[in-house]
Amino acid sequence: MEILMAIIIGILFASATYLFLSKSILRIIVASGLLSHGAHLLILTMGGLKQGAVPLVNKEGIPVTDPLPQALILTAIVISFGVTALFLVLAYRAYQELGTDNMDQLRGTEGND
Amino acid sequence: MINLIVLPILIPLLTAVLLIFFASKVKTQRWISAISALLNIGVAFSVVRKVFVDGIQILNVGSWVAPFGITLVSDMLSALLVLTTTIIGFAVILYSFSSIGKEREKYYYYALVQFLLVGVIGAFTTGDIFNLFVFFEVMLMASYVLLVIGGTKIQLRESLKYLTVNVISSALFVISVAYLYSVVGTLNMAQISERIGSLEEMPGILTVIAVLFLIVFGMKGAIFPLYFWLPGSYFAPPIPVMALFGALLTKVGVYSIIRTFTLFFFQDKDYTYELLMILAIITVVVGVIGSIAYWNIKKIIIYNIITAIGVILYGVSVATTTSFTGSILYLIHDMLIKAALFLLIGVMIKITGTSNLRQFSGLIKHYPGLAWTFFIAAISLAGIPPFSGFVGKLLVIQGGFTAEEYIGATIILLSSLLVLYSVMKIFIHGFWGVPKEYAKKESISYRALLFPIVLIITISVLYGIGSDYVYSYVSQAVQTLVNPELYIEAVLKE
């Protein structure tokens, strides 16, 4: 199961890298979404995918899955939500103000003399 | 008081929350943030005293014993960096009063500065690797908004790039933590260190993780192949923000490299430390090339950040007691002096209206105070003996030569010359010569701007003259770096 997950995460990382290298800002934001998906799945996989009960209080005492990676993912998800929301608004403002979404046209030359 | 070490994080956090309620009242905001920053200096100072007298301070948040809860750890290195951060925070807040402008102040500027300080101080104090990630994000989030606040074209453009780079490096941080967790099964830094230390030899995967951490923190701290984002991004924001970034953000990356490399990856020194050394030396070279190439005063100082990071990391990669002491002395000196230099060129830009060195000269005639302050800052940066940059660099180079790493030490010695040249270029072309038209603008309240700078420069001069006194503190900080057992014992004592 871990091997399958590793392959899928690898595909996610590859797609994210490909999109990060493109010119349009929106594609870059999609890439950041895919990258964070990959990272979160990777935490889950690295914590171990052994079968067990959900980590809620269970009186039977059956083994549960590792609760720590789930807490880490939850934290990482909200952080990347916040950053992605800011990123989208920033891209919107930049489009309004600068009139382009092409990263090639966003080069700066100030102070390079 | 047992909760003492959480106070430097808590004070700016509560202040930031409070400041959100006073968005439109600029005067109130200024008072609150200045008083809280001053208070925090006092608290940070008492933390340093406490650590000096009683050794490493531990706070288990929520009374969960060490490896299971989040532990805050304040050893001497953290305490000194927290103190330096609070001093810089205070100076930048004072400088912002007459520099940043009402428009930005009304849009939560001071709250964001306080949040940035929360992130930086938290990152220095935490003893948990995932908590470090969270404090990094607190810091970065605040820095994104501080970078873009005001919304000019250049800020929007550079924020997009800065955000992209940091999103990638944050994801890499998460990935590295995931790998590390799957190998050692814990997140507490002391326990990670203990588990890695109990292995016979460092397995290959840990070396890979060490390099991953180097990439992540190197991206934050702008070391050689990963510095590409810094010159553009730091060029965009207003001066006080630039000073905060230049003094604090990259140094958090450097601190994290020091912490992880001395605490986790100290077994297989051959490969990782060698890599760090090569990268540090190239970083120094790239930094000095940049700083002598440009005629824009902002760019010159920005490239000097990169040089200093190379020097500090070279000392770390040599990994002897002498070189660690040198690195820490230099790290603290560099935080102070970079903040001062950015604030100084801010005053110059305010007076002349340009950052192009070719377009102004002769400032010393009408602004002698500014000129001599800049002169002291410049020679401190280069490391002229009575001033603060000297002892740190001396010990780094001495450490390099004693460890028979001649090439690196020689390059760092030579780099001082070019660093001196780059800042003296500003002094000679900007302050000497014939004064130009702009010279007598009455509207500039330049004394109010100069006060926080003089404050930092005074501290930095005292730091240089009182090296003996500072040395006893720094040598205590080095103890934990060369002896990770001290750190582990302090955290996992039960």
Least Cα separation, residue A72 to chain B (angstroms): 8
Cα separation, A90 vs A84, in Å, equals 10
Helix/strand number for chain B, H first, E second? 21, 2
Q: Which amino acid belongs to residue B127?
A: G
Task: Determine the pLDDT at residue B107.
Answer: 92
Partner residue opposite A25 with nearest CB, options B158, B160, B175: B160
Task: Determine the pLDDT at residue B202.
Answer: 74
The answer to whether B19 and B114 are in contact (CB under 8 A) is: yes
**A25/B182 Cβ within 8 A:** no
Task: Determine the pLDDT at residue B53.
Answer: 95
H/E segment holding residue B71: strand B71-74
How would residue A105 be classed by pLDDT, with cut points 50, 70 and 90? confident
Three-state DSSP state, B274: helix
As to burial, measured by CB atoms within 10 angstroms (0-12 exposed, 13-18 middle, 19+ buried), residue B307 is buried
> pTM, whole model, 2 decimals?
0.95
Q: Which residues of A touch B148 (CB under 8 A)?
A: 90
Task: Determine the pLDDT at residue A64.
Answer: 86
Cα separation, B420 vs B438, in Å, equals 28
Cα separation, B246 vs B306, in Å, equals 10
Task: Determine the pLDDT at residue B288.
Answer: 95
Task: Determine the pLDDT at residue A76.
Answer: 96
The ipTM of this complex is 0.95
Task: Determine the pLDDT at residue B417.
Answer: 93
Task: Determine the pLDDT at residue B455.
Answer: 95
Partner residue opposite B157 with nearest CB, options A42, A72, A106: A106
Please give chain B's pLDDT, 494 residues, in tens: 678 999 999 999 999 999 999 989 999 999 999 999 999 999 999 999 999 999 999 999 888 888 899 999 999 999 999 999 999 999 999 999 989 888 899 999 999 999 999 999 999 999 999 999 999 999 999 999 999 999 999 999 999 999 999 999 999 999 999 999 999 999 999 999 999 988 877 788 999 999 999 999 999 999 989 999 999 999 999 999 999 999 999 999 999 999 999 999 887 788 899 999 999 999 999 999 999 999 999 999 999 999 999 999 999 999 999 999 999 999 999 999 999 999 999 999 988 888 899 988 888 888 889 999 999 999 999 989 889 989 999 999 999 999 999 999 999 999 999 999 999 999 999 999 888 766 555 556 678 889 999 999 999 999 999 989 999 999 999 999 999 999 999 998 85
- The number of residues making up chain B comes to 494
Task: Determine the pLDDT at residue A112.
Answer: 65
Task: Determine the pLDDT at residue B248.
Answer: 95
Task: Determine the pLDDT at residue B268.
Answer: 77
Three-state DSSP state, B115: helix
Question: Most B CBs within 10 Å: which of A41, A83, A88, as the mutation test of the B interface?
Answer: A83
The residue of chain A nearest to residue B298, with distances taken between CA atoms, is: A111
Task: Determine the pLDDT at residue B440.
Answer: 56
Cα separation, B473 vs B76, in Å, equals 7
pLDDT tens-digit profile of A79-94?
999 999 999 999 999 9
Q: Six-digit token pair at B261? A: 């490399």
Cα separation, A9 vs A2, in Å, equals 10
The share of chain A scoring above pLDDT 90, in percent, equals 65
Task: Determine the pLDDT at residue A91.
Answer: 95
Q: Which residues in A have their CB inside 8 Å of a CB on B?
A: 20, 25, 28, 32, 35-36, 38-40, 42-43, 45-48, 68-69, 72, 75-76, 79-80, 82-83, 86-87, 90-91, 93-94, 97-98, 103, 106, 108, 110-113
Chain CA centroid to CA B344, Å: 18
Q: Which amino acid belongs to residue B90?
A: F
Cα separation, A98 vs A100, in Å, equals 6
Count CB atoms within 10 A of the CB of residue B208: 13
Orientation of helix B389-402 relative to helix B406-426, angle to 10°:
160
Task: Determine the pLDDT at residue A106.
Answer: 85
Cα separation, B361 vs B364, in Å, equals 8
